[in-house]
Amino acid sequence: MADPGSIALHLGLLLLVPPLLPGLIAKTKAVASGRQGPPVLQPYRDIWKLLGKGAVYSQTTTWIFRAGPIVTLAAAICAGLLTPLVGPAAPLGFAGDVVLFAYLLALGRFFTMAAALDTGSSFEGMGASREAAFSALAEPTLFLVLAILCIPAGSPSFAAAFTALPWQTWIAAHPPLIAATVALFVVLLAESSRIPVDDPDTHLELTMIHEVMVLDHGGPDFAFLLYGSAIKLFLFASLLVHILVPVPAGLPGLPVFGAGVVAVAIVVGIVESITARLRLVRVPQFLIGASVVAMLGLLILVFRGTL
Amino acid sequence: MHQIALSIPLVAVAILAATAIAAAVLGRNDRASLMVGSLGALVASGLGLVGAVLALATRAEVERAAAWALPLGSIRVGLDSLTAFFLFCIFLIAGLAALYGIGYLRGQQRRLAPAVVGFNLLVAAMVLVVLARDAVFFLLAWEVMSIASYFLVTFESERDSVRRAGTTYLIATHIGVLVLFALFGLLGRGAGSFAFADLARTGSRAGPHLCFILAVIGFGTKAGFWPLHFWLPDAHPAAPSHVSAVMSGVMIKMGIYGLLRVVSFLGPPPAWWGALLVLVGAISGIAGVVHALAQHDLKRLLAYHSVENIGIITLGIGVGLLGRAHGNPAVATLGYAGALLHVLNHGLFKGLLFQGAGSVLHGAGTRHLESLGGLSRRMPTTAATFLVGAVAICGLPPLNGFVSEWLIYLGAFRGGTDLPARAIGAVVVALVALALIGGLAAACFVKAFGVVFLGEARSEGARHAHESGLAMRAAMIAGAIACLAIGLFPAGAINLVAGAAAELGGTAVRPSSGALASISALAGLLLALVGGLALLRMALLRSRPVERGTTWGCGYPHPSPRMQYTAASFADPILAPFAAVLHIRTHAHLPEGMFPTAAHFDKHVGDMAGERVLVPAWRTFLHTALRLKVIQHGRMQLYLVYVLVTLVGLLLWQMGGALGG
């Protein structure tokens, strides 16, 4: 994946498609509840409008508050250069890129949480605390999924993992991959603050997680945050697509990839329509449950040969 | 050339010892004593760094014995890649700490000579520990190291808690030494000499399993393996901050050095050694970070993070041993390389963080998290460098902590592919533990950095805090730059550990230079993107209204600093899943009735190892020992009967032996 054409395609997808996903999810939810809902392209308009606004900064805040959205977006874009989109390889992928992927997203989260604490608001502190708790529990699940993908491939890189996946047989013969899919879907829901972990549409600060951390951000800062979290959702969705279907490199892969990402967004929308948000004390159980599923998948993977 | 490389650290030790004596002689003149001692430490560190780099570059392998003999042993020193790497760590971190100490000690209201003398002796002793090539000389240097650090821990000896911490430390460190005596006694009995070369030749015949267990306990007490870490969260915060930096940054790593050195004597390791160390590492790492989350004292929090990072290092060594045991040098070398590089990285960022904590104490007068807040405006340099240390200790790119954790991950993933199925349990434990530790560490450092430096000041002291002096800031900036440099150019840093890792792991496998170049490229790209986005925002906001307002308080217009989220509240949901195993004490007087009066709530998380393991173990021991009281009556006749019965018993046993034989 070194030719300029595929790099341009990757960059184009990475930078232009992500805001589509929250729009699709909102549309799915609207349709499911019999409303017309906002247009699918509404998030683009939101981001554009925010980029054109001024800003109000709290007197309490310092440069950390201003750095938060910037670092979060920069880290998400860097992670996007490691994630395969069309075709199994990414422009900057290397042996060991899966670890950097996870830690880049963690870096973005670190700065979002620090920016929240910089406001001195107890609501934002509360949101940061919840985000820290839940993301710490989601981290082992993500690494178990990565282990299921990378151990058979022989190298901790997305390119090796997605090239080595046995698509001819997998639904019938690969319970580990089913476990990985389920667990990764839960990680996606948790990392992108979706129901049942967090409700992006709630209007009560006390019940929010991600939204309450960014209460004080406005204008371009908030645009960066919205864009960054859309990219994060997009990256997890594309990982799921790559586990579920083979995506050929280059333009032939584009329809497969596009359909897959849209399907993931619609499934998220359906899940949001048919489930309620968990009580906050139940969320850790949900996340630990996902890691148990992934652990089972890994055990089957390792011991299937020996049984 | 090799002889020169060996002479340089010895000259550095001589400088340190000489300036320690000079500082003691000048003891009545605080300023002169501090200047002589610190200058000596700085010169020795600079010289020693040159020597360590020279040794690493020339791959020096040399040994030299002095003409003097020690009782049972000899003064024997030597260099190899492992020693050279640890020398590099010692001199680098001690040099930065000495620079910081000049500024930090100047503000103290007591005699400075004990701190100055103790510091130089501690550094000299650590250098000799890693140079020693004879068990007796090694233990001698080890003892000097322990005692010098005891006097540093008890520097502020008028405080009761400090004296108690010192006593705990002294007892703990001597329990460790006792086990080391047994270890080297066992090894030396087989070898007939205490020279390391002889121990290495015969080590595999001296009961290697028992020796390994003794080494894990003896060196683990110094390193702070859970539950042998009990002295650490008391002792490290008690010492002056630049000493905490050296103790957490390098002194506890002497335990890691000793473990690696002794394991290399014991011949090919069986698989369970690796599995045991992975387990010890996972428990230390997770227990360390969970306890750190529960702390309200900044330095104590950092001390628990040392337990966590020792856990990460031990995970790496465990992966290395697993690789060795299953004949897979690639896994072994990656594990060892990650562990060794984490020794250096942890030294750098933990030194930096302790120095930051010292600046906070110096500037705001307290290290209690709930009385701090908003310091980033009054102490910008400390805040920025502390942030660098915090991001680095969480293992996040583009800083150094990521590189070493990445190597351990790489070893574990590779182990998952290449090792037999029965070894994979340990590998998976390592992966999951590293991921969980990473997530929890990020939570803990968001809490520590956020509560101390962000938001509004929670006390008068924090409101009037002042930035530290030039020497302290220079040391912290240098530490932060070192963290960034290793993160941006990992290929150079891996050269430091490549020799030692290859020797321990059995091959010169290293991660492909392509992968390291990619990490460099992405780290650079990340910084460039951050800069680019900052410029973009500046351009966007240039012609638009930018206002200042109050923080959104859901419509409430007069928020006060007391309404901010506290460190305890922040940590509470994160600790909730671990509540079953933590030792949490709650004292609550909640509001009652129609007209509630004063209420209070107090929650304290004790040390799980202390409360759940060590205290019950001590009680059981005491209880059993008291049972033996039935044979003690204080009557002479009874004791005579005991003597008689013993004699007759022995006679009968001898006769039985003779008849049987």
Where does a domain end: B486, B517, B533? B533
Please indicate whether, in this complex, the C-beta atoms of B432 and A140 are within 8 angstroms of each other: yes
Q: Smallest CA–CA separation between B550 and chain A, in Å?
A: 5
Q: Is A167 on the interface with B (CB under 8 A)?
A: no
Q: Shortest CA distance to A47 belongs to which of A11, A80, A21?
A: A21
B482 shares its domain with B381: yes
- Domain hosting B138: range is 1-177+225-260
Residue A54's SS3 state is coil
Which one of B446, B447, B488, B578 makes the best mutation probe of the A interface by having the most chain A beta carbons within 10 Å? B446
Residues found in chain A: 307
CA dist B57 and B55 (Å) reads 6
B642 shares its domain with B495: no
Ordered DSSP codes for A260-303: HHHHHHHHHHHHHHH-PPPPGGGHHHHHHHHHHHHHHHHHHHHH
In what helix (H) or strand (E) does residue B397 lie, and over which residues does it extend? none
Find residues 102-141 of chain A whose CB sits inside 8 Å of chain B.
Answer: 102-104, 106-107, 109-110, 113-114, 117-126, 128-130, 132-133, 135-140
CB B98 within 8 A of CB B38: yes
Maximum Cα–Cα distance across chain B = 107
- The CA distances from residue A65 to A72, A213, B446, in Å, are 11, 11, 13
Residue B204: other Cβ atoms inside 10 A: 14
The structure tokens listed for A65 are 């508050």
CB B98 within 8 A of CB B116: no
ipTM score for this prediction: 0.96
Is residue B296 domain-resident?
no
Is residue B498 domain-resident?
yes
CB B9 within 8 A of CB B51: yes
Where does a domain end: B233, B260, B287? B260
In what helix (H) or strand (E) does residue A251 lie, and over which residues does it extend? none
> Mind listing the pLDDT tens digit of every residue in chain A (307 residues)?
468 888 999 999 999 999 999 999 999 999 999 999 999 999 999 999 999 999 999 999 999 999 999 999 999 999 999 999 998 889 999 999 999 999 999 999 999 999 999 999 888 999 999 999 999 999 999 999 999 999 988 889 999 999 988 776 665 567 889 999 999 999 999 999 898 989 887 777 788 888 889 989 999 999 999 999 999 999 999 999 999 988 998 889 999 999 999 999 999 999 999 999 898 889 999 999 999 999 999 998 888 765 4
pLDDT (0 to 100) of residue B607: 84
Ordered DSSP codes for B215-237: HHHHHHHHHT-TTTTTTHHHHHH
pLDDT (0 to 100) of residue A307: 46
Which residues pair with residue B603 across a beta bridge? B586
The structure tokens listed for A141 are 């699940």
Q: Smallest CA–CA separation between A36 and chain B, in Å?
A: 31
- For each successive 10 residues of chain B (661 residues), what is the average pLDDT? 89 96 92 94 96 92 85 89 96 96 88 93 97 95 96 92 93 94 91 89 86 96 92 92 95 97 92 96 96 93 96 97 93 94 97 96 92 93 97 95 96 92 90 96 96 93 92 96 96 90 78 84 96 95 89 78 89 89 84 84 81 85 87 84 93 80 51
Find residues 82-101 of chain A whose CB sits inside 8 Å of chain B.
Answer: 82, 92-97, 99-100
B510 shares its domain with B642: no
Residue A92: other Cβ atoms inside 10 A: 20
Dihedral of CA atoms B221, B199, B209, B608 in degrees, nearest 10, equals 0
Residue A173's Cβ-side half-sphere holds a number of Cα atoms within 13 Å equal to 8
B351 shares its domain with B251: no
Residue B507's SS3 state is coil
pLDDT (0 to 100) of residue B550: 84
CA dist B174 and B210 (Å) reads 20
Nearest to A126 among B431, B551, B565 (CB): B565
Where does a domain end: B260, B286, B304? B260
CA dist B508 and B333 (Å) reads 7
Count of domains forming chain B: 3
B506 shares its domain with B655: no
B631 shares its domain with B521: no
Residue B465's SS3 state is coil
Please indicate whether, in this complex, the C-beta atoms of A120 and B432 are within 8 angstroms of each other: no
Residues of A in contact with B546 (CB under 8 A): 54-57
Is residue B566 domain-resident?
no
